[in-house]
Each structure stands twice: as structure tokens, then as C-alpha cells.
Copies of this chain bind each other. A is one copy, B any other.
């Protein structure tokens, strides 16, 4: 039986950074994100008896060793639960293939986990599946929860994400500016531990997450967006003061930042947000989103995406093979 799942990548509102347990991918602190409706990973899985090994194809390519191992960790966990050792054919496609820091590892592992669990005939509760997809990518927990999601570092001994507001409950939309980079963003989560600023981040992050939660409950789009911009700067400040002097921004990143700041000075409310990569999300009220997009196109970015907040992954019959 083939199972196909579509999952949305995420934008971190309060970003996660650094893993307390890198193997089990348990973070140091809670984090909050939103799913991006206009972007998705589609993954089709079929269990094929007598297949020598798993056949995996992502964006028309075989995954590299490191990526493959992350995928096998999730698959093997599910196979153990289902008492099935059969190999699978897996084809996965992201809707956008350029740009770094767009949250596709989240949607990739959310889609993989849900599709494989269904293909294996499992009916897992949300928390168990969330804990399994987390082993592939921490943020997959939040992609799996959908909409506005809170990932708990530790809730009663478990680390998983819950949806805290539905996708249409707030007047928030975003403009996404994909930017290409050769920096290996996965490294950033390791080396941030060397930053003298990281301890300071950890001290304050609890209050920041609570402030963001409250802003979401109050449906205060401006407060959410401003807080996310602030957390962006904190995250990148912490990254660049790590051991390797890692700067994730590209010149284009700063071009977009400066244009957003200029918009604000002209009373067009918009706020930038940048995950662990150079690509920029611009959060704004839905009524502003076309104006914001047009400003960003004018400074030379033609491949931008306009999006609302997306829902949790869904099963579809549009199989990729």
C-alpha cells in the first residue's frame, strides 16, 4: 500500500538553538513556530517485500550518508514498533529547492514519520509520533503539530510539540525570501554552545516563550512579529559569537532586513524573522502582505512566496510514484 503525506515547513517564532541531547535531539528550551501554508514537502512511501534495502529519493537525488542515517533512525523506530522489518521505497519532494533556512527538515521528517507510520499500519498517538519524528529533526515536532505550535523541551519527561492556536485564528501572513548559501546550518546547533552569550539566552528564554504564548493567545500580530524579530537577532548574535565565528547571513539577507526597517519607518508594519540560515521571513498583517511583497520585488527579489499559516500534515492520494 502506498501512503502519501503533505507537510508544511515551519518558521521559528521563538527559535530553538542548541541541543541538550544531540542524539535524541532534545533541545535546551521550549520553542514556538508557525507552519508555512504555501510551501510543502510531499512524501510517498510504499513497503516492498524482499527489497534489499530502503530506496530513498529526495528532490530527485539519493540522500547523502548523514541524511540517510537520520531517515533510518526514524524508520527503524517505527519498524520496531510495528514488528515489521520490510524495506520501503520512499520518494520525497520539497515545493522549493533553493534557499537555506526555510524549515524543510521539519516538513521532511513530519511527512516521513506520518507516512511511514501509516504504511506500517500503526495508529500512534500524537505525542508518540511527535517524539519519533523529533529523532530526525527537532522542528519536525512542530510541523507535525501544525499551525502555531509549541515544542516542549521536557513535558513530564517527554519532548514533543502541541498546537497552541489554529491556522486561521490570527490575522498574520508572511512573505518568504529564499536565499541560497553554502553554510552547513546543521553545524550551527553544535557550535553555539561555545558562545559566551548562550548562557544569557538560556536564562531569559523562558520569559520570552511565555511572552510569545501570551501574544498568540491575545492574537496580537504586531507583538508576535516584533518578538520574533528580536529573537532572530538574539539567535544570530549567539551563533556568530560561537567558536567558529559562524555568520549565517548573506549580503542579500541584509538587503531584505534594511528594506523591512525602511518599510516600518514609512508606517508599513512588517518585521523580519530569520531561522538558522540566510533566508528571510517577513511577518505582517494579512492586509499588508501584497504591499510588503511588492517592496521586496522592487529591490530585486523575484522568487518570493506569499503565505498564510499552514495546518498539520495531511494524507493525500496524489502519490509521487
Contact = CB atoms under 8 A, between A and B. Distances in A.
Contact of A196 (B234, B241, B249, B258): B234
Contacts of A255: 251
A240 B233 CA distance: 6
A250 B251 CA distance: 8
A204 interface: yes
Contacts of A199: 200
Contacts of A252: 251
A265 B315 CA distance: 46
Interface in A217-259: 229-230, 233-234, 236-238, 240-241, 245, 247, 249-255, 257-258
A253 B204 CA distance: 30
Nearest to A272: B245
A197 interface: yes
A230 B245 contact: yes
Interface in A87-122: none
Interface residues of A, number: 27
Contacts of A233: 240-241, 245, 247
B247 A254 contact: yes
A254 B249 contact: yes
A211 B234 CA distance: 26
Contacts of A249: 254
B241 A234 contact: yes
Nearest to A251: B251
A201 B240 CA distance: 14
Contacts of A251: 251-252, 254-255, 258
The 10 A-B residue pairs whose C-beta atoms are closest, nearest first, are A237-B237, A251-B251, A251-B254, A233-B240, A200-B200, A197-B197, A237-B241, A251-B255, A233-B241, A234-B241
Given A250-B258, A251-B251, 9 more contacts: A200-B200, A229-B245, A230-B241, A233-B247, A236-B240, A237-B240, A249-B254, A251-B258, A254-B254
